[in-house]
Amino acid sequence: MFSDLEKLKKANGKGRIQLIFSGKAHPRDDSGRKLIEQIFGCTQKLKGEIKIVYLANYDMDLSAKLVSGVDVWLNTPLRPLEASGTSGMKAAHNGVLNFGVLDGWWIEGWIEGVTGWAIGPRPNENFSVEECRIRELDDLYNKLENIIVPMFYSRRDDWIKMMKNSIGKIAYHFNSHRMMQSYATEAYL
């Protein structure tokens, strides 16, 4: 999100972006602590331009509020390391639109411009790590500036239609009833 602050500011010019981050790092997780410090640093650099908040002590109660109270769920794992991505599934149950790298569950839930938006190459496209990152960053900023922010602010009917699609297509498929049925019929029989 903060790889190119000028592009982020340009996307913000199409509306008003607000960013909410949350998490916590284990005391011995140096990279996690550094990431949180980077978020705070960017918060200061963008102060007065883009509203950014960091909610500390991420837990299940805070997660429940986030997955039901945001407009877009951003998920940018390093491919192919996404374990599952259940937070995006839970967000979809609340009409939240997903915007993420095609890894984990999002490969199955994603229908471009219908249930949300993809970031970067498709799973079957083979690129170097560097080329993949370049494509992901281009997609992230281009879609924010030219599709997501303008739709949210200027095409509310289209946005609401996508929210309904998120519930109707993603929540319908990604739920515990369907999961148990799949386990019973595909894994155990």
The mean pLDDT value for 14-33 works out to 92
Other Cβ atoms less than 10 A from the Cβ of 182: the count is: 11
Q: Worst-scoring range by mean pLDDT, 10-19, 41-50, 172-181? A: 172-181
For residue 49, give both structure tokens. 């331009």
- Whether 102 contacts 77, CB under 8 Å: no
Alpha helices in the chain (DSSP H): 5-12, 30-45, 60-69, 86-92, 106-109, 129-143, 149-154, 156-165, 172-173, 176-182
Is pLDDT above 70 for 23?
A: yes
Bridge partners for 21 per DSSP: 54
User: Model confidence over 30-48: pLDDT tens digits?
Assistant: 998 999 999 999 999 999 9
Q: How many CA atoms lie within 13 A of 38 on its CB side?
A: 10
User: Model confidence over 87-132: pLDDT tens digits?
Assistant: 888 899 999 999 999 998 899 899 999 999 999 999 889 899 899 9
For the chain, percent of residues with pLDDT exceeding 70 = 99
**Judging by beta carbons within 10 Å of its beta carbon (0-12, 13-18, 19+), is residue 7 exposed, middle or buried?**
middle
Q: What was the pLDDT predicted at 189?
A: 67
Q: At 14, is the pLDDT very low, low, confident or very high (cuts 50, 70, 90)?
A: very high
Enter the pTM of the model.
0.88
For residue 144, give both structure tokens. 């924010």
Is pLDDT above 80 for 176?
A: no
**Helices vs strands, H then E, count in the chain:** 10, 5
The mean pLDDT value for 146-158 works out to 98
- Whether 79 contacts 46, CB under 8 Å: no
For residue 151, give both structure tokens. 């739709």
Q: Which CATH class is domain 5-175?
A: alpha beta
Q: What was the pLDDT predicted at 20?
A: 96
Q: At 3, is the pLDDT very low, low, confident or very high (cuts 50, 70, 90)?
A: very high
For the chain, percent of residues with pLDDT exceeding 90 = 69
